[in-house]
Amino acid sequence: MDDRRSSALVDHVGELRDAFRVARTERAFTIHAIVVLPDHLHVIMTLPDADSDFSGRWRRIKSLFTHRLAASGAPISRNHRGEFALWQRRFWEHTIRDDADFERCADYIHFNPVKHGLVPSPSDWRYSSLHRYVRAGLLPSDWGGAGQMDGNFGERGD
């Protein structure tokens, strides 16, 4: 999000889910891991073969979410150009190279609420695919412990 003090994503997580659902219906993609924080989110998604239009999908998700909030009367700040200031203009795209890279990226996503001081343990954050991983037996319920996570996740900042 453009406004790092905002909590619009978690305050309106239902509208965000709807935006993802509509965008996915219009142009397929699969979400493998996701975390929604108050002011930004991280996703591992896969597009269909021979389709690399991440930008179009993000543009659609952002547009749907923004228009739903505006229509609901939710207060949305505007930037100096008069545009809604909910989203950053860019996103960071990373091509996952192998299973180890996928695991590193998923771990980064699931640990992000702890990194930002929102919760003491990843399992304490509601808006995370970590819970799906635990239900599927892919990770233990106490994964990430009490804020203990080692590793260089290769992030360029949030």
DSSP-assigned beta bridge partners for residue 36: 41
> What is the C-alpha separation between 5 and 39, in angstroms, rounded?
7
Model confidence pLDDT, tens digit, residues 94-141: 899 999 999 999 999 999 999 999 999 999 999 999 999 999 999 999
| Mean pLDDT for all residues in the chain | 87
Q: What are phi and psi of 15, to 5 degrees?
A: -65, -35
127 is catalytic: yes
Q: Which domains does the chain have, with CATH numbers?
A: 8-135 (3.30.70.1290)
More confident residue, 127 or 86: 127
- Per-residue pLDDT, averaged over 14-21, amounts to 96
Model pTM score: 0.84
Residue 70 pLDDT class (50, 70, 90 cuts): confident
Element (H, E) at 32: strand 30-36
Is residue 1 pLDDT above 50, yes or no?
no
Is residue 59 pLDDT above 70, yes or no?
yes
Q: How far is CA 81 from its chain centroid?
A: 26
| pLDDT the model gives residue 137 | 96
Closest CA to 43 of 158, 148, 125, 138: 158
Residue 2 pLDDT class (50, 70, 90 cuts): very low
DSSP letters for 83-128 = -B-SS-S--------SHHHHHHHHHHHHHHHHHTTS-SSGGG-SSB
> What is the C-alpha separation between 158 and 39, in angstroms, rounded?
10
Q: Is 25 exposed, middle or buried (0-12, 13-18, 19+ CB in 10 A)?
A: exposed
Catalytic residue among 20, 87, 127, 133: 127
Q: Residues 90, 96: contact at Cβ < 8 Å? A: no
More confident residue, 40 or 147: 40
Residue 81 CB: number of other CB atoms within 10 A?
Answer: 6
